[in-house]
Amino acid sequence: MTQPPNQPPQPGGFGAPQDPPPGGFGAPQNPGPGNPVPPAQPPGAPQPGYGYPQQPGPYGAPQQPGPYGYPQQPGPYGAPQQPGPYGQPGQQPGPYGQPQPGPYGAPQQPGPYGQPTQPGYGYPQAQYPGAPGTPPPGGSGTRNPFKGKPALAVGAAVAALLVIGGTVYAVTGGDDGGKKEPVAGKSDDPKPTAPESPVDPGDGSGDGGADPDDLNEGRRPGESKVLWYKEAPDAPGSGAEANGMWITDRTAVKAAYKDLVGYGVGDGAPAWDTLTFPQKICATTAQKTADDKIVVAYMSGASDRAKCNQLQQVDLNTGKKGWSGEIADGALFDSTITVELSIAGNTLMVGRSQSGTAYDVTTGKKLYDKKKYGDACFPAAFSGGTRLIQVASCGAGTDNEHDELQELDPKTGKVKWTFAYEKGWRIGRTFSVDPLVVYSTNEDKDTWNIATFTPAGRIRSQVDIKDRIAPECGWAILQRDLNGCLGVAVDANTLYLPTEATTGANEVIAIDLAKGKEKWRVKSPTDQTILPLKTEGGKLVAYVEPSYDAGGRVVSIATAGAGHEPVTLLQNPASASEVENGFFSRDIDWADGRLYLSTTRLSGDDDAKEKLMLAYGK
């Protein structure tokens, strides 16, 4: 979502892991002396017009990888900045130590109005933040709570492409990020059975059948099976969004353009008839309710003036539609051209560009509004899950321009606590809401920061590492998309982040949330990138990417003790590596011993069938 009106467009780009979009920022507010505050976000491409949600800037933000073989755009300033002493809620951080200015990375591509939240194929994509410089010591009682990491330019990784008959084959490269909840999942590790060949590689409308190009052919002993594989429905030539993947104990559900499709988790057979909406799906809830329901928003029409204001609740297990409704516009400049949806408990929060409205997710009944408050503070973004977090943009265009972080009571909207960031800092992502871990960037300092918070909204620690981190975060053209990161996991006491590969394979770093310091690190078991997915049963589950001639794998890593060597849970077959390697933009999930990959962007290419979803198991 964007900042309030009267704010001039700012260069944007922020700390999202793999692909920062252009955007402006809101700087944190200067709290009273002695009160430190977290950093904000760095600049990026020019922001949309006044009143429209602003997009985070590039500096050091986690970046979204582009399709395989496509050149990736060097990311903005690299190293994270380390926060200073603990701040009190509502307090503003003080001056920072001298950052080491790193050269700007390749120019970033601004996102014009109406540009898809995810870059289309072939667009250069920004890389991750660079290594932080040594943060200055932070003293308690100073106005400098955050110690930022100076960003350094990250060189672009250019991948080779082989084009044959109009089809692009990825030889090497990275993938775009998807949404991931850094919350521990189920601890069991069932071993589902799989049919001998993957089911229905079609568009999801059939009832299964053998894959003409058997992805399990030549499967070696010990390798997992492709349980099923689906191709995407038709999309317009300009491309379409496919954000949203949800896994229950019965169904795997995917959003793609106008469709919502559900498959049996084990065999990929259609779980229910495809739901096709009148217009394209424009927003989805990253979270599902305790009884497996979600809410999607779709456009009111196909014209340039259409709005993302039509809501529909859906049961993931049955495909049945529940309540529906229309989101009203807010005040001037507070539109529903784009919206964001979050679920926290039994509350659905709908975020416009400058306000939010909460509904009972079960009945669709309106609960309350979140509007302008205090020093011209406008709600700019929300993050759901086990808690409801609000980010507000305050004092736009004034000397007191800053971001504020708040926790809300999901049932009433009552503010539990407020933490004001100092001017210049922009909140970009919430890596987790419980515990609360926030990524922010500073345009003026060319730095980034990761801060963890106590339940009362005070700074618990600030991450102090000297590595470039490389989670994958999607584009957010007209909104911040606080939840839009893949490759980050968090448990009660530890943050798990992937580093950027510099020479050889990358690593996963475990960071102590109480101190902000590294606890341990482990290298990828192959030459390919390793990405944390979630924690379960006292272990970290991570995905190791495939190469062009070898399948990827899922590994578990002990989080306690002295040994952290990855143990393979699934080794995907080499016979399916080309398909696995071909998700140019992706979402990944691990549930009940199965691995799911899906695309988050459709190119609209009529010359070839596009991949939609792939499932592996034993």
Q: Report the 10 Å Cβ neighbour count for 142.
A: 18
pLDDT, tens digit, 9 for 90 and up, residues 38-92: 444 433 333 333 333 344 444 444 544 444 333 343 333 344 444 433 333 444 4
Residue 34 near residue 142 (C-beta atoms within 8 A): yes
Q: Which residue has the higher pLDDT, 126 or 422?
A: 422
Give me the sign of the Cα torsion angle 40, 41, 43, 48: negative
pLDDT interval class at 331 (50, 70, 90): confident
**Which range (24-28, 491-495, 559-563) has the least confidence?**
24-28
Q: Which residue has the higher pLDDT, 14 or 261?
A: 261
Determine, yes or no, domain membership for 386: yes
Q: Which residue has the higher pLDDT, 106 or 437?
A: 437
Smallest CA-to-CA distance from 581 within 43, 69, 98, 183 is with 69
Residue 451 near residue 511 (C-beta atoms within 8 A): no
Residues 121-126, mean pLDDT to the nearest whole number: 35
Smallest CA-to-CA distance from 588 within 549, 550, 548, 542 is with 542
pLDDT interval class at 225 (50, 70, 90): very high
pLDDT, tens digit, 9 for 90 and up, residues 468-508: 999 998 766 556 889 889 999 999 999 999 999 988 899 99
Tell me how long the chain is: 618
Amino acid letter for position 36? P
**Which range (32-41, 116-125, 294-303, 544-553) has the least confidence?**
116-125
How would you write 560-609 as a 3-class SS string?
CCCCCCCEEEEECCHHHHHHHCCCCEEEEEEECCEEEEEECEECCCCCCC
Residue 168 confidence (pLDDT) above 70: no
In angstroms, rounded to a whole number, what is the distance separating the alpha carbons of residues 19 and 14? 9
Determine, yes or no, domain membership for 37: no
**CATH label of the domain that carries residue 333:** 2.130.10.10
Residue 29 confidence (pLDDT) above 80: no
- pTM of the predicted structure, to 2 decimals: 0.72
Burial 220-235 (b: 16+ CB within 10 A, else e): eeebbbbbbbbebbeb
Determine, yes or no, domain membership for 613: yes
Give me the sign of the Cα torsion angle 68, 69, 70, 73: positive
In angstroms, rounded to a whole number, what is the distance separating the alpha carbons of residues 8 and 50? 7
Which pLDDT belongs to residue 317?
A: 98
Determine, yes or no, domain membership for 414: yes
Residues 118-135, mean pLDDT to the nearest whole number: 35
Q: Nearest 5°: phi and psi at 575?
A: -65, -20
Determine, yes or no, domain membership for 239: yes
Smallest CA-to-CA distance from 349 within 428, 418, 406, 299 is with 406
Tokens of 261: 């499709």
Most confident range (mean pLDDT) of 74-78, 158-162, 316-320, 473-477 is 316-320
Number of domains in the chain: 1
Determine, yes or no, domain membership for 466: yes
Residues 165-186, mean pLDDT to the nearest whole number: 32
Determine, yes or no, domain membership for 87: no
Tokens of 372: 């302008």
Exposure of 303 by Cβ count < 10 A (0-12 exposed, 13-18 middle, 19+ buried)?
Answer: exposed
The single residue listed with the structure tokens 């944190």 is: 28
Residues 420-449, mean pLDDT to the nearest whole number: 95
Which pLDDT belongs to residue 167?
A: 27
pLDDT, tens digit, 9 for 90 and up, residues 600-610: 999 998 888 89
Smallest CA-to-CA distance from 611 within 33, 168, 4 is with 168
Q: Which residue has the higher pLDDT, 501 or 251?
A: 251
Helix (H, G, I), strand (E, B) or coil at 533: strand
Q: Could you tell me the residue range of the domain that residue 101 belongs to?
A: 93-617
Determine, yes or no, domain membership for 310: yes
Residue 372 confidence (pLDDT) above 80: yes
pLDDT interval class at 540 (50, 70, 90): very high
Which pLDDT belongs to residue 438?
A: 98
Mean per-residue pLDDT over the chain, rounded: 75
pLDDT, tens digit, 9 for 90 and up, residues 183-222: 333 333 333 344 444 544 444 443 333 344 689 998 999 9
Tokens of 439: 């990524």
Q: What angle do CA 26, 31, 37 make, to 5 degrees?
A: 65
pLDDT interval class at 443 (50, 70, 90): confident
